[in-house]
Amino acid sequence: MYDLQFETNGTGGYLTIQEVSTIVIKQLYYDVWDGNLPTVVTDGSGIIIQP
């Protein structure tokens, strides 16, 4: 019973499962980023991103 309230309401000063998953996804994104911004070329028909 208490576990369900904790997971749905985040009571007790802890992070909810959704908050933890958001943090993990952001960390994975930053771990694989090489620090270079993509090169963007526009040609009138749209935006083309070249790796």
SS in 3 state form for the chain? Answer: CHHHHHHHHCCCCCCCHHHHHHHHHHHHHHHHCCCCCCEEEECCCCEEEEC
Condensed to tens digits (0 to 9), the pLDDT of residues 34-47 reads 888 777 777 777 77
Q: Could you tell me which residues are beta bridge partners of residue 48?
A: 41
7-35 average pLDDT score:
83
Least confident of 13-17, 20-24, 26-30, 42-46: 42-46
At residue 2 the predicted structure's pLDDT band, cuts being 50, 70 and 90, is low
Per-chain mean pLDDT for the chain: 77
